[in-house]
Amino acid sequence: MNILIIDDDRVMRRIIRAMLAEGSHNTLSAGNHIEALSVLSYQKVDLILMDIEMPEINGFDLTRIIRKKLDHWLPIIFLSANESDNYLALGIDAGGDDYLTKPVNQTILNAKIRAMSRIADMQRQLNELNKQLEKLSYIDPLTQLLNRRGLVERLEIDWRANKRKKEELSIMLLDIDYFKPYNDNYGHPQGDLCLQKFSQVLTNCMHRPADSIARYGGEEFLIILPATPIEGARFKAEKIINALLNESILHEHSQVAKYVTTSIGISSTKFGAVDYTELIKQADSALYLAKHKGRNRRVIYQPKTQN
């Protein structure tokens, strides 16, 4: 562990450092709050041994400062010659995790460090698990694409970036043609497999890290194309339509083809949408026209007349 010893007594720092040497720990030291905060600003620290009685800022106040500054938890063990219960209570209230009285017993010190190390490991595992759960909350479990929650967050980020950079942002709203007859005739398990294959086709057609794909509804999908003019989105839509035909997912109950096809509505910020909600409405309007024209095609939104 990287252990930071904070004590205004240089001799005490040396004694504790010698005690920790047998445990193969890496020790750092600070004689006051300025040095301590400096070390924490550039050095990874796993545990702090904090003297309480220090001039200018005592250990309790410094602990409060550290807890406010750091965005993660690390164990802090107080060191003090004061054995009163009141001091122990003050230490816990200040944000400390344990308390050792001076002179420090080496056996007890190392035992407490081992205990804190186990707690720190569990905390890291918990933080990693929470990150994974947070990530899962943005992902559609069937298709492994962004879900509606993830889509909204991505749209907000890309919309702000688009306004800042003053670039054209395009989106595509896609719908699998005649998916209900597919589900009704092949069954829902096969329908789920179709959605997964369709999602994979979309993923294979996207080559830029900035592009995002989301499952917008049951069989509806939305693709965000940052820094992409409308012609670039049109080209991408045609690529998806052709890739889907090459995939040849059998659909004997479609009125368009013997294979699964898609209709695509396209819009971009060039058409004057005031926010991404309006942009989606424009793409949805274009998608409606694509279906009206016979499906298995892409249509670009036009503000007044659509073609």
Positions marked catalytic: 219
Q: In terms of DSSP bridges, do strands 170-176 and 220-225 run parallel, antiparallel, or are they unpaired?
A: antiparallel
Q: SS3 for 291?
A: helix
DSSP 252: T
Angle in degrees, CA 31, 53, 6, rounded to 5: 30
CA-closest candidate to residue 287, choices 269, 265, 257, 261:
265
Cβ within 8 Å of residue 194, ≥6 positions away: 176, 179, 182, 186, 249, 260
Q: How far apart are CA 291 and CA 168, in angstroms?
A: 26
Q: How far apart are CA 107 and CA 119, in angstroms?
A: 19
Q: Which helix (H) or strand (E) holds 6?
A: strand 2-6
